[in-house]
A and B are shown apart, each in its own frame.
Chain A
Amino acid sequence: MIQLLDIAKTYPNGVHALQHINLQVKPGEIYGIIGKSGAGKSTLIRCVNLLERPSSGKVLIEGEDLTTLFASQLRDIRRKIGMIFQQFNLLNSASVYENAALPLTLTKMPKQKIYDTVMPLLELTGLIERKDHYPAQLSGGQKQRVAIARALANKPKILLCDEATSALDPHTTASILALLKTINRQFGLTILLITHEMEVVKTICERVAVLENGQIVEKASTNELITQPKAPAARELVSSILKQHLPHYLQQKLKSIPTKTSYPVWRIWFHGKASQEPIMAHLIQRLGLEINILQANLEHIQNELIGIMIVEAIADSAKLAAGMSYLTSNGLQVEVVGYVDRIN
């Protein structure tokens, strides 16, 4: 659906905003690009509809290279690509209805047909009762809903979301993300979004690319990224939603070398598949380990249980080895964080 081939963007002052960007977004999927501010996310998403013209590389939308098109052809393609923004970008001088209808009034569509197209969208976004209000009378979440209705007015195949929830509070963010998910399902809309919030990716993205210093440092499914982040930037982002480190006072007790009186502390990663099994019960009852849970952080991500559990495993070395191999054979990833002395 969207294909970016070796995109680079260098500004006249010599700053390399983007380098070697290769990306492929499949029809109907929600694809996330995550990165810190200044990573080049905004530039990247603007390259998709050529608001920002890449210095080199190709932008293919349904196989058509946008960089070779004339201005009028490009405008036709842009009508089929909706876009929403962090700052909403609504006309203050126009009502909710007029804002949502704007893309259609540019196309000389008859008034009645515009009405028939816009009203269902206001219904969908829950704005029917506010259709005659002006943006200044709306909350941030409502403004973004107007922007979404406007973006859908031309019945686009693609929706670009430029930090669409970054100006919103967590509760409103959740409702906007739910709306995006709904329109993704209902219209089979392909969504490409950029964000700096792992929470957004976790909630609706199927696949994700991590952008750092203008380059993609990692591409993965959301589950893979969260359970097995490889690039340092990806690890940092993931740690923002999963607490993988012990609190300070427990960390101080950790020793890197075992002694005769100490037991290991394990960090166990749940990857989704094994999460339905009664893993802990098995460890304790069948294998005879004493398990002391120090910290657990489990989340449902795209219908799978994913997370980290940090436990103290108390048993003799034979049992510990059996426990360890039981966990790994069940597809869990176990890592020894350190050792804690049992004698206080």
Chain B
Amino acid sequence: MSIELIEQLLLALWETIYMVALSSSLATFIGAPLGIILFTTRQHNILAHPLLNKALAMIINGLRSIPFIILLVAIIPLTRLLVGTSIGTNAAIVPLTMGAIPFIARIVENALSEVSQGLVEAGLAMGATPLQIIRKILLPEAMPGIVNGLTITIISLIGYSAMAGAVGGGGLGDLAIRYGYQRFEMNIMLVTIAILIILVQLLQMLGDYITNKVSKHKL
């Protein structure tokens, strides 16, 4: 393999990590609060607001039902508005983030709903405000589930990032398609696949490690 190719691979790896890291951080930043709102505005919950809950759930379900490759193209105007261009790695981050937000929102909502209602009741009984119940009770208790879910989301984002090649986003998936598929260079295809497998394994291991760290009750 030529030095040039190795450089290409390293660049592609960096692009993948850059896209996935940035989009998953942004998506968590937006999706997690949405998940908290989704859970706490449920009926009989601490911030019960059935109307807001229904509206939000509808938007999130709507976003989730759009296939990623279509989302990628459909939100080009938004992408242009946000990053000034619709092609390149930065441009790919917008659809990746948009695609991950509803996932993360649902994952957080789900993890929170696993927390025993009795704990919320105990919090209310000791005079905690809704915000304190979220910060001191719900989030710490749901943390293992949230970290677990985030790991799954980040790994799916690696898969999605391959499609980002369609908008010139670069990354490993893009490299594999251009060289491996379009130019029949099998060895490059195989190398990218190997790198992706290692990357996913490492991420999963890291995710499991953090999950274990935060689930002290399973000692």
Please list the residues of chain A having a beta carbon within 8 angstroms of any beta carbon in chain B: 49, 51, 75-79, 81-83, 85, 87, 89-95, 102-103, 105-106, 134-137, 150, 154, 160
Contacts A85-B118, A89-B116, A91-B119: A154 and B126 contacting too (C-beta < 8 A)? yes
Does the CB pair B118–A89 fall under 8 Å? yes
B contact residues around A81 at 8 Å (CB)? 125
Contacts A92-B141, A105-B136: A134 and B217 contacting too (C-beta < 8 A)? yes
Most buried by B among A76, A77, A90: A90
Given A89-B118, A102-B126, 6 other A-B residues pairs in contact with their CB atoms under 8 A: A75-B128, A78-B124, A78-B125, A83-B122, A134-B217, A136-B217
Contacts A85-B122, A91-B119: A75 and B127 contacting too (C-beta < 8 A)? yes
Q: Does B185 contact A (CB under 8 A)?
A: no
Q: Does B183 contact A (CB under 8 A)?
A: no
Interface residues on chain B, size class: 20 to 34
Q: Does B132 contact A (CB under 8 A)?
A: yes
Contacts A85-B121, A87-B116, A87-B118: A92 and B127 contacting too (C-beta < 8 A)? no
**Residues 102-142 of chain B, each 1 if its beta carbon lies under 8 Å from chain A, else 0:** 00000000000000101101101111110010001100110
Does the CB pair A51–B121 fall under 8 Å? yes
Q: Does B143 contact A (CB under 8 A)?
A: yes
Q: How far is the CA of A90 from the CA of B214 in the complex (A)?
A: 16
**CB-based nearest A residue for B143:** A93
Does the CB pair B124–A135 fall under 8 Å? no
Most buried by A among B121, B126, B214: B126
**CB-based nearest B residue for A74:** B127
B11 to chain A, nearest CB (A): 41
B contact residues around A90 at 8 Å (CB)? 119
Does the CB pair B136–A102 fall under 8 Å? yes
Does the CB pair A51–B124 fall under 8 Å? yes
**CB-based nearest B residue for A83:** B125
A contact residues around B141 at 8 Å (CB)? 91-93
Does the CB pair B116–A93 fall under 8 Å? no
The binding surface of chain B is classed by DSSP as: helix
Does the CB pair A51–B125 fall under 8 Å? yes
**CB-based nearest B residue for A87:** B118
Q: How far is the CA of A93 from the CA of B218 in the complex (A)?
A: 9
Residue in contact with B127 in the complex, picked from A79, A94, A95, A150, CB distance below 8 Å: A79
Q: How far is the CA of A244 from the CA of B173 in the complex (A)?
A: 81
Does the CB pair A106–B216 fall under 8 Å? no
Q: How far is the CA of A70 from the CA of B215 in the complex (A)?
A: 37
A contact residues around B122 at 8 Å (CB)? 83, 85, 89
Q: How far is the CA of A128 from the CA of B90 in the complex (A)?
A: 55
Most buried by A among B119, B143, B216: B216
18 contacts between A and B (CB under 8 A): A49-B125, A51-B124, A75-B129, A78-B124, A78-B126, A83-B122, A83-B126, A87-B116, A87-B118, A89-B116, A89-B118, A89-B119, A90-B119, A93-B140, A93-B214, A136-B217, A136-B218, A150-B126
Q: How far is the CA of A95 from the CA of B126 in the complex (A)?
A: 18
Q: Does B3 contact A (CB under 8 A)?
A: no
Residue in contact with A91 in the complex, picked from B121, B140, B215, CB distance below 8 Å: B140
Interface residues of B in 4-52 (CB under 8 A from A): none
A44 to chain B, nearest CB (A): 15
Does the CB pair B136–A93 fall under 8 Å? no
Most buried by B among A75, A150, A154: A75
A contact residues around B124 at 8 Å (CB)? 51, 78
A7 to chain B, nearest CB (A): 18
Interface residues of B in 189-219 (CB under 8 A from A): 214-219
A93 to chain B, nearest CB (A): 4
A131 to chain B, nearest CB (A): 14
B contact residues around A93 at 8 Å (CB)? 140-141, 143, 214-217
Q: How far is the CA of A23 from the CA of B126 in the complex (A)?
A: 23
Does the CB pair A92–B128 fall under 8 Å? no
Does the CB pair B127–A134 fall under 8 Å? no
A135 to chain B, nearest CB (A): 6
A contact residues around B215 at 8 Å (CB)? 93
Does the CB pair B118–A92 fall under 8 Å? no
B211 to chain A, nearest CB (A): 12
Contacts A91-B141, A92-B216, A136-B219: A76 and B136 contacting too (C-beta < 8 A)? no
Q: How far is the CA of A77 from the CA of B127 in the complex (A)?
A: 8
**CB-based nearest A residue for B133:** A106
